[in-house]
Structure 1
Amino acid sequence: YMLASPISDNRCLNFAVCWNSLVLISTFYSKNLINYTWSAGNQFIINCIYYLKTVTLGSSETIRKTSFNFDTFNTKFELINNKKISEDWLTWFIGFTEGDGAILNYNNKLKFVLTQKESNILYHIKYTLNMGNISFHQEGNSKYHRLVISNPNDIYLLSLLFNGNLVLEHRLKQLNSWINTLNNKYYYNLQFICKSNTITLKDAWISGFTDAEGCFNVSITTNKRYSLGYVIKLRFILDQNDELNLIKIKSLFNTGKITLRANSVNHYRYIITGFTNLEILFNYFYTFPLKTLKNKSLNKFNYIYKMILNKEHLSLEGLKKIKIIKTQINLNQSLTKKIGSKL
């Protein structure tokens, strides 16, 4: 027989696996960007308020409890655009931003940037928010697209969206810089909410964060103990420089491992494997679908998962089919690699 590994690594706080299918070329990792929030002679001022957010209604008839509150943003946004954006989309967008966005302040010039090889997701965001411009770039053989939002009115709306809804601590620091500049330069009166928001499996934040940082990996390795000579392993992977955030996500799924990646200072990896654990993952993404090409990878990943459950992987024909689908997953993920130089 050939083995499809059902092992689930439970009750282990730290662990790791390699992520060969995604190569980090460059990103807007925020710790470097915090430096841009300072201007000569100005002190970094934090004005914090804390409050309890209300429970909002999901798109279905069921009441879904969530800590996200978009009332202020949607009120202002609707006045300008004559429409509201759904809570699920906005929560997805915040997760995507916290994984891959750049909240920049260059000498009080505010800018929001998203860089992707996949242009469709940037156009989707641009037309949903009705903000920004998209440009094409090439560095050597690398081609990518960049969405830039710099209009002060749009930055103000984004600040309303992010304020009180961000999860990662370094993103809070970047947003505080934005709000300080908006108040001092453009005479707004925004109060910065310095409390990190809480995520659950009942909101779309992890879906957006996965579109930015996630990967679905199928590995087929030789093992002579089995008649076909191969072992198949399915893995869901999240890479991040913020270990605490991965610990939060791990606690929500109640499974998986976190490890410090080899030859790195603060680059961590969270991995879910094992058939029972993956079923929980599939259920979450069924409720909160991915929006990038990674959704196609997830569907193929799920297809292989069902083939293994049906024992199709035990035949040469099934193994050959899995190898083909595995290649297609890697092709989709090559189109969603992080890329592009820092601003």
Structure 2
Amino acid sequence: MMASPYSDIGNIINFAICWNSLVLISTLNGKNLISYTQSADNLSLNSCASILRPDIKQSVSETTRETSFKFSVFHDYYNTLFKNKSHLSDEWLTWFIGFAEGDGAIQTYDEGKRVRFVLTQKESDILYKIQFKFNIGVVKHFPQGKSGKNNDFYRWIVDNPSHILLLAYLFNGNLAQNHRIEQLALWVNALNNRFGSKTIKLNNTPVLVTLRDAWLSGFTDAEGCFNISITANSRYILGHVIKMRYILDQKDSVILSRVCQLFGFGKVTLRSGTDSVYRYTGTGFKALKDVIAYFKLFPLQTKKALSFEKWFIVHNQVSNKLHLTDEGLSQIRTMQKQINLNNSMTNKTGAA
């Protein structure tokens, strides 16, 4: 799914593109998966800052990294499966779970007897990195459409039952979204039927995502973008106003509302013309400092890291008022065009 945000703003020069790395909606909402539609509550459709509870917001400057994510069972099974100690850090595993909740397909088919996990991306490097780190699954290339490589995509596919069990141990008790837990429940049933009824006990309590863990970094790699727009406005010195946004798109309005609560600013809205897709939008130069601090603490792992770094540079330039000169504004225009440039994830992937 590609979107050019805020197209109703007149005379807008907007080169930054929002994307969802997984645009194969049929992959997520196909017959093999549980279909879901989240309805908006009052929180989902309004600014979160005004109703933020002090105990919810976490300071991104805190050095403590205690989280609700637990990986001991995963590490134990990994050690048994591969006869060596797991080398995967808890921080990276937390990033992966966020990435998987955004882009993954937790599939159960053949009347609940068979299971599979799929990650679909335009960017092959991140899938090969994930495959290498876990030492499971296969990455396949899918050329699609008349445009050839302009419309191709890649998938990391895991279907070995023992490897699915490894992922099930990883996800169990560590998923933040209810519809993902429902999908995992089908995995648990299938795996218990195959390996024994007591192999894995489903933990159906959503994990509490905070700004002290890497989940949101992974989720942003899957579903987020960093946007810069330069809009004509005669009230400003050079006749233009610069706006910066951090954006997440997702069908689950609840998790977006949670992100809104964590940062304490922004809003979650239902996107018109979509099939129940919601958008979290965070804007405001001062407020976005918390977003920047978070991603400096928990770096992005895909090519979106390059877009973030350019976005961060523009934020610094505007904060230092370098945009108030013709030379400074020209530099920002150049940087704006470079965001997402030659990033294949800004193109649609092929049909499933």
TM-score by length of 2: 0.81
* Matched-pair identity in %: 45
Aligned residue for 2:194? 185
1:73 aligns with 2:83: no
1:22 aligns with 2:18: yes
5 Å matches for 1:148-159? 148-159=157-168
Deviation above 4 Å: which 4+ runs of structure 1?
A: 16-20, 28-31
Contact 1:117–1:144 (CA<8 Å) still a contact in 2?
Answer: yes
Equivalent in 251, 258, 267 of residue 257 of structure 1: 267
Shift of the 166–116 alpha-carbon distance from structure 1 to 2, 3 Å rule, reads same
Instruction: Kindly state the Cα deviation for residue 223 of structure 1 after the two structures are TM-superposed.
Output: 1.4
Contact 1:37–1:177 (CA<8 Å) still a contact in 2?
Answer: no
Instruction: Kindly state the Cα deviation for residue 36 of structure 1 after the two structures are TM-superposed.
Output: 2.1
Contact 2:19–2:224 (CA<8 Å) still a contact in 1?
Answer: no
Aligned residue for 1:204? 214
**Larger deviation: 189-198 or 203-212?**
189-198
* Structure 1 vs Structure 2 CA RMSD: 2.2
1:93 aligns with 2:96: yes
Equivalent in 144, 154, 170 of residue 145 of structure 1: 154
Shift of the 337–121 alpha-carbon distance from structure 1 to 2, 3 Å rule, reads farther
Query: How many residues get paired?
Result: 304
Instruction: Kindly state the Cα deviation for residue 17 of structure 1 after the two structures are TM-superposed.
Output: 4.8
Give per-residue Cα distances to partners, 1:213-262, cap 9 Å, x unaligned: 00000001111223422111000000010111111111111111111111
Give per-residue Cα distances to partners, 1:311-332, cap 9 Å, x unaligned: 1111122111111111111315
Aligned to 1:36, the other structure's residue is in SS state coil
Give per-residue Cα distances to partners, 1:139-180, cap 9 Å, x unaligned: 112011111111111001000000010111110111110110
Aligned residue for 1:278? 288
Aligned residue for 1:124? 129
Aligned residue for 1:105? 108
Distance 1:63 1:260 in 2: 35
Contact 1:22–1:334 (CA<8 Å) still a contact in 2?
Answer: no
Distance 1:244 1:97 in 2: 17
Aligned residue for 1:32? 29
Distance 1:294 1:63 in 2: 26
5 Å matches for 1:303-318? 303-318=313-328
Instruction: Kindly state the Cα deviation for residue 336 of structure 1 after the two structures are TM-superposed.
Output: 5.4
Distance 2:346 2:97 in 1: 18
Aligned to 1:335, the other structure's residue is in SS state helix
5 Å matches for 1:204-243? 204-243=214-253
TM-score by length of 1: 0.83
Instruction: Kindly state the Cα deviation for residue 333 of structure 1 after the two structures are TM-superposed.
Output: 5.0
Give per-residue Cα distances to partners, 1:34-81, cap 9 Å, x unaligned: x4269xxxxxxxxxxxxxxxxxxxxxxx65221100000011213314
